[in-house]
Amino acid sequence: MAGFVAVAASAALIVPVGGVVTPAADPCASVSSVFPNYVPDWCGKRVPAGYEEFRTALADYRAAIDEFQQTENDVLQDLGQSCRPDLGKLANPDEVDLIVGRLSISRPLLDRANDARNRMKSALKKAFAGDPQAPAVGVDIDALGTVIEVYGRGIMQVEETAKLWAACNSEQTWQIATDALLGNTIEFVNNGTQSVQIAGAIQMAFQNTQDACKAVRVREHIPANQIKKAGDPKTRSSGGAALTYPKTLDVGKKPKKLPVNVTSPSSGYGTVSVTRGSKGIVATGGWFEPGESGMLMTVPGKTKTGKVTLTFALEGGPSVKAKITLK
């Protein structure tokens, strides 16, 4: 019976566990190098045209594929344990039906992934306007369609393999079922690797298409005495997120740096913006890591005096708003 254990162990090693072939949980995780705790993906008066549409579509694709991979991974592992003649356990067809029945939730996940892929295609022109990488990104988006198709065929193949496991009642039938499951697993892992690589390439190209952030300079921390040079420091916080900023800022004909310390309670995509009503003055967006980041945000010259709103918003998390008086 030693052969049983050896083959089963090999299959278990190939099946991805807990995200080996899936991207980081954030589906919309930026690939920016995080130093100190934030690197901007974009800067300007407002978010670039097409940016949010493309970013959220890519994040939705990753989230749907991540959930699909976890579901199918669990099914593959459970099938591999549904019959173990070496341990005296023969197949129970009802148990196998329950295991493979979980694949029914996988198809809608692939539909979600394909919908997100189509949204990426729709947003591509605006998000990559004037960028020579656009055609290559279009090819990569089409390649994600192939990934989804392979996953779809894989569901049907696993359903066929499940019939072999339901009939497993001897060492010979166990070996046949195990060989079939191993083939399913290898294709699953290889396709998952393709998905990660293609989505990563799209993310890199997308980040690179944004102009270098000249409007915001990032620091690890801005000392209170430096903030005080602009105006009396004040801190506002909510849900673990915080902003430290000067209550006032002198503006004039030349651009002025607004010093701000931003504290994020967790990892995620976030934005920091200075607005007057619906009009943007300066803003930035990107991936935050937990902790504090200092920012010198450029308020353009000839900006009107009066009250403006400083906002830090973490997607899926808290937001903090503060008022600053421009003098």
Predicted pLDDT at 49: 84
First CA to last CA distance, the chain:
83
Residues near 61 by beta carbon (within 8 Å), at least 6 away in sequence: 27, 113, 116, 117, 120, 144, 199
pLDDT over 90 at 7, yes or no: no
User: pLDDT tens digits for 221-232?
Assistant: 899 999 999 999
* Distance (Å, whole) CA 123 – CA 119: 6
Give the model confidence (pLDDT) of 270-307 as tens digits.
Answer: 999 999 998 999 999 988 999 999 999 999 999 999 99
Q: What is the DSSP string of 214-244?
A: -SEEEES---HHHHHHHS-EEEEEETTEEEE
Percentage of the chain with pLDDT > 70?
88
Sign of the Cα torsion 138, 146, 120, 33 reads negative
Cβ atoms of 262 and 321 closer than 8 Å: no
What's the pTM? 0.73
Instruction: Give the Å distances, CA to CA, from 142 to 64, 149, 302.
Output: 17, 11, 46
Q: Is 70 exceeded by the pLDDT of residue 5? A: no
Q: What is the mean pLDDT of residues 210-226?
A: 82
pLDDT tens for each residue of 142-163: 999 999 999 999 999 999 999 9
Q: Which CATH number fits domain 216-326: 3.40.50.1220, 3.40.190.10, 2.60.40.2550, 3.30.70.2470?
A: 2.60.40.2550
Structure confidence at residue 36 (pLDDT): 64
